[in-house]
A and B are shown apart, each in its own frame.
Chain A
Amino acid sequence: MLGYLIRRIFAAVPVMGVVALFVFLLLRLTPGDPAAILAGDNATPERLERIRESLGLNEPLIVQFITWVNKLLHGDLGTSLISNLPVIKMIGQRVEPSISIALCTIILAVIVAVPLGVIAAWKHGTWIDRFVMGLSVLGFSVPVFVVGYILIEVFAIELRWVPVQGFKSISAGFGPFFERIILPTCALSFIYIALIARMTRAAMLDVLGEDYVRTARAKGINEVAVMMRHALRNAAVPVITVIGTGFALLISGVVVTESVFNIPGIGRLTVDAVLARDYPVIQAMILLTSLIYVVVNLLIDVAYTLLDPRIRY
């Protein structure tokens, strides 16, 4: 197991290397002078020269790359062209809201969706099954901003149970954190509930036809134990895959939700950076997103080996 982990972490290094190279070349291979791109339309010649120097653009490409990677490894992701703040600091400020929302969403989605999927499969073909599948179609088809605005209208404006928007760090106390995060979490979890419930149902239906489920019933144990102990554990691998990739998507792609609820997360940071052509921030975000995917995939694979003793690498 440990050997496998070490091997997998080493295997991630070339992946990240390729991503880094791509990010590096992104700026250098765009037509025109990178310094001019970075400086924007109204730059003075002095400013251009300063940027050229700071990027080492007068050096050969390979030297530039090595210097850049070296800086990366020391946590230096460059400086934002707009705010002049170090990029690492900007991201650091934005990470907590995004991760909080992603975690809360995925937890809520799993808690709701897995039982729904199990029940739908167990009552396969009945009205319960059709009801759950109907809900899931609804979850897929309603856009997240619609759900978001409805939730705000009902719970924040009409009922006044929670604030309309914003984000409070968990360090400010659980109450304020919770009342601000509950609506975006609900809005965002809709589609994930639909996805995970569907996946769980399909995986369960596959497994329920297996011989060992019949064996379990022949032992005279109750249906709950048959479902949970024998069926669900065997159905878990595809479900975990969906949960994992869903989580990775959530961290990097919650732009709409962050806009609707006015949350200062990394999704909005990315969008703002793209609109302002803030290249250092864009580069950092690409690197960060890739890293998240690599880590999540690693965790998924580790989860496989824990769930299914037959899977050995």
Chain B
Amino acid sequence: MTNQAMTNPVLDISNLVVSVGKKPGGNKIIDGISIQVRERETLCLVGESGSGKSVTSLTTMGLLPKGTLVPTSGSVKLVGEELLTATDRRLRQLRATQMAMIFQEPMTALNPVVPVGRQIDEVLRAHTKLDARARRKRILDMMEQVHLPQVERIFASYPHRLSGGQRQRIMIAMALVLEPKLLIADEPTTALDVTTQKQILSLIRELQRDHGTAVLFITHDMGVVAEIADRVAVMRQGRLVETGPLEAVLRNPTMEYTRNLLASVPSLVPRPPREESREPVVLEANDLSKIYKERAFFGKGREVVAADKVTLTLRKGRTLGIVGESGSGKSTVARCIVRLIDPTSGGVRLAGREIADISRRLLQPHRQKIQIVFQDPYRSLNPRVTVGESIAEGPINYGTSHADAMKRARELLELVGLPADAVSRYPHQFSGGQRQRIAIARALALDPDVLVADEAVSALDVSVQAQVLELLDEIQKRLGIAILFITHDLRVAAQICDEVVVMQHGRVVEQGPAAEVLTHPKEAYTKALLDAAPGRDWDFANFRPVAEGVGATA
């Protein structure tokens, strides 16, 4: 280790400033940051949205949108060579050969109309003089190194034929095929399921060991940091807050911001269970199924079972979590329960009334008893309608006068922690967290018995996420509302749910009290999920490994 620490940095960024536009007075997006990454080292660049971590990586690659963001001072050196003043031609030569990058969204980062093998081949054709045979051999070899199955078949496949994890492996193969000195990974596992994430993280580590690559790893997820980092650099609003070795930063963060950031990470250890409820059941799903049929012109159509005989109950004032990976059917169940889509079979009882098969018209009076909050607050509010009108729309539809509904909207905004005069403003004037509060206020406007939160905090930064979770908890205590909470994030589930339902492939795998299921899972799948949760060994909020905490309290 000491030997490696002595080597020169592969990437050396010093006093980098990136501004908006070419004029000297422009807003500084990056304001004087300095970081180094050495051979065989992984530096995690952590920060919330808008902290400038992605801009830092794009500056290094020379991929900033031309003319809008401009590096105005400082230097970025790759193995001693200055990149900020390098010509476009030189930067093109360096890309893929000396520095390579993988991106967050494997679903969109590959060209959909070119087979993946050819996309990797392009790198070799641009940078080497190898003949077709040698290139193919090298690509297949690299694809094996990233542990892709049936490499010959995948070589000729189009991206949409591959899973998210496989596509990210292709991206990694493409990035590392020429053995660059530096790999920049920008949130490479954020869009993946936890089990896939775990595999990709260990793959990056394995390849780094074999090739000696320096890795600049960008993430917002402290769990991932704990898994992969050697050193950590915390960024906030374009500045470097704190940097140091992993253990030191997690155990003894020196800056207030880092402490808060770590303290916001929800613990994987479930909160102490609330006493069992004797309140009435407000929502029941019985053998709820949703089957999508693909019609075919000739022969039989294909059937996709999105939800298979799901049964669950939710009592007044309680929170039931549905957890699972993408494609597990958790959102399908939520949407069937709210009747945004019609279930194929099975029943839904809402406040004692069966609503699974009644007509849309008869359903109308029952709609107000169940309301939903969606994942992306940037898209779930109509941008051309004021916040007040959005919130008041529901009550007005159910006969409240406009004046009363607006009065109620003001009260609700205060309930969710926003100023009452926000009613006359538009969604774009609010941050993501504030918009999600507005979405919650909108759902509460109809006094529902059940609030369905479909990944309602997944798009938010951890500090904001913690606030919104707290808000939901508080609202539940005050209004006695029941919450159906859909999430892929076990940490969030552990902190807000009384009971959880674990789903996989449309089926319920395991269900029970959160404290039970998330600490002593019975089913192999639940165990695998928990095992894959990144940073499961760390108790971030208490600045210590989980094991030490257990030792201390015992």
Contact = CB atoms under 8 A, between A and B. Distances in A.
Interface of A: 3, 7, 210-212, 214-222, 225, 229-230, 233-234, 307-310
B110 A215 contact: yes
A215 B111 contact: yes
B96 interface: yes
Contacts of A211: 103, 105, 108-109
B100 interface: yes
B347 to A, nearest CB: 36
Nearest to B184: A218
Given A211-B103, A211-B105, A218-B61, A234 B113 contact: yes
B160 interface: yes
Contacts of B123: 219-221
Interface string B85-97: 0000001111111
Interface string B113-133: 110000000110011000000
Contacts of A308: 112-113
A222 B96 CA distance: 13
Contacts of B246: none
B94 A220 contact: yes
B108 A212 contact: yes
Nearest to B100: A218
8 contacts: A211-B105, A212-B111, A214-B63, A219-B96, A220-B96, A221-B122, A234-B111, A310-B112
A231 to B, nearest CB: 9
B427 to A, nearest CB: 22
Interface size of B as a range: 20 to 34
Contact of B109 (A212, A221, A225, A307): A212
Contacts of A309: 112-113, 158, 160
Nearest to B105: A211
A215 B172 CA distance: 12
Contacts of B529: none
B101 interface: yes
Interface in B157-181: 158, 160, 171, 174
Sorted nearest first, the 9 A-B pairs with minimum C-beta distance are A220-B95, A211-B108, A212-B111, A309-B158, A220-B92, A221-B126, A211-B109, A220-B96, A218-B101
Contacts of A234: 111-113
Interface string B293-320: 0000110000000000000000000000
Contact of B96 (A218, A225, A230): A218
Contact of B158 (A3, A229, A310): A310
Nearest to B124: A219
Nearest to A230: B111
Contacts of B96: 218-220
B487 to A, nearest CB: 26
A210 B108 contact: yes
Given A229-B114, A230-B111, 12 more contacts: A212-B108, A216-B122, A217-B95, A218-B63, A219-B174, A220-B95, A220-B96, A220-B126, A233-B111, A233-B113, A308-B113, A310-B160
A233 B94 CA distance: 26
The residue in B63, B93, B100, B109 that gathers the most chain A C-beta atoms within 10 A of its C-beta is B109
Contacts of B92: 220-222
Interface in B162-217: 171, 174
Contact of A222 (B63, B100, B126, B158): B126
Nearest to A213: B111
A3 B298 contact: yes
Contacts of A219: 95-96, 122-123, 126, 174
A212 B110 contact: yes
Contacts of B101: 218
A211 B103 CA distance: 8
B113 A307 contact: yes
Given A229-B114, A307-B113, A309-B112, A215 B122 contact: no
Contacts of B160: 309-310
Contacts of A220: 91-97, 123, 126-127
Contacts of B93: 220
B158 A214 contact: no
A273 B21 CA distance: 63
A233 B127 CA distance: 23
Contacts of A218: 61, 63, 95-96, 100-101
Contacts of B126: 219-222, 225
Nearest to B92: A220
B113 A215 contact: no
Contacts of B63: 214, 217-218
Given A220-B97, A309-B160, A215 B298 contact: no
Contacts of B100: 218
The residue in A3, A210, A218, A225 that gathers the most chain B C-beta atoms within 10 A of its C-beta is A218
A217 B61 CA distance: 9
Contacts of B127: 220
Contacts of B105: 211
Contacts of A216: 111, 122
A224 to B, nearest CB: 12
The residue in A3, A219, A229, A307 that gathers the most chain B C-beta atoms within 10 A of its C-beta is A219
Nearest to B88: A223
The residue in A215, A216, A217 that gathers the most chain B C-beta atoms within 10 A of its C-beta is A215
A102 B171 CA distance: 45
A172 B257 CA distance: 84
Contacts of A221: 92, 122-123, 126
A216 B112 CA distance: 12
Nearest to B104: A211
A123 B361 CA distance: 53
B301 to A, nearest CB: 14
A3 to B, nearest CB: 7
Contacts of A217: 63, 95
A225 B97 CA distance: 18
A143 B94 CA distance: 52
